[in-house]
Chains A and B, each alone.
Chain A
Amino acid sequence: QLQLQESGPGLVKPSETLSLTCTVSDGSLTDTYYWGWIRQSPGKGLEWIGIISHTGATYYNPSLQTRLSMFMDMSKNQFSLTLDSLTAADTAIYYCGRRVNYFDHWGQGTLVTVSS
């Protein structure tokens, strides 16, 4: 059974960069899927962040694309994101997931708080 697990800092200061990693178990990033990130905050509900393919092709939410990067580490079966210039509005639970158009597998989520 495919499993995904997010990891990263729980607290980040405003203006700093967030780095999150998703580790995939019992599945391979070389499979022909896209892998993605979604976040959930009380004020904005569920928000799609971006997806990355097994070839490294990326598609980002236009509202985040100037601050966002996603990449894969096939050797570790991980994919990651970095989000720059954080503000309080980026405070959310961040989920990673496997995208088959919709998201059929999700990680448990990791809470990221942006605060000084």
Chain B
Amino acid sequence: EIVLTQSPATLSVSPGDRVTLSCRASQSVGSDLAWYQQKPGQAPRLLISGASTRATGIPGRFSGSGSGTGFTLTITSLQSEDSAVYYCQQYYDWPPRYTFGQGTKLEI
């Protein structure tokens, strides 16, 4: 099983700041990595797929990068509405053995 480790666990920032969240894989997943945003009481929402492709309707403030075992999600010009937990997910294996990171809680 591919283990995804996210850091930091919690991050407190101010509006207007820029943040970078990290996701490390226990083995290479190529670019088969997605990022999700989850707000309290809501389902996760797809932000990024293919490590760097923004999903439909996602603002340009959100960007993803990386490949292999190291990935980052960068959010610029932070807004209060960006307060959420952010998860990474790998979909490299076939047959599928999808796994998620444990999440990074972003507090603004």
Which A positions have Cβ atoms within 8 angstroms of B? Answer: 45-48, 51, 59, 61-62, 95, 97, 100-104, 106-109
Contacts and interface: CB of A to CB of B under 8 A. Distances in A.
B96 interface: yes
A9 to B, nearest CB: 20
Given A46-B103, A95-B44, 6 more contacts: A45-B101, A46-B89, A46-B100, A48-B97, A101-B34, A104-B46
The majority secondary structure among interface residues of chain A is: strand
B39 interface: no
A102 B89 contact: yes
Nearest to A104: B46
B58 to A, nearest CB: 11
15 contacts: A45-B103, A46-B44, A46-B87, A46-B89, A48-B98, A48-B100, A95-B43, A101-B49, A102-B34, A102-B49, A103-B44, A103-B46, A104-B46, A108-B42, A108-B43
B46 A51 contact: no
Interface residues of B, number: 21
Given A46-B89, A102-B49, A107 B43 contact: yes
B59 interface: no
Nearest to A49: B98
A108 B42 CA distance: 6
Contacts of B96: 48, 51, 59
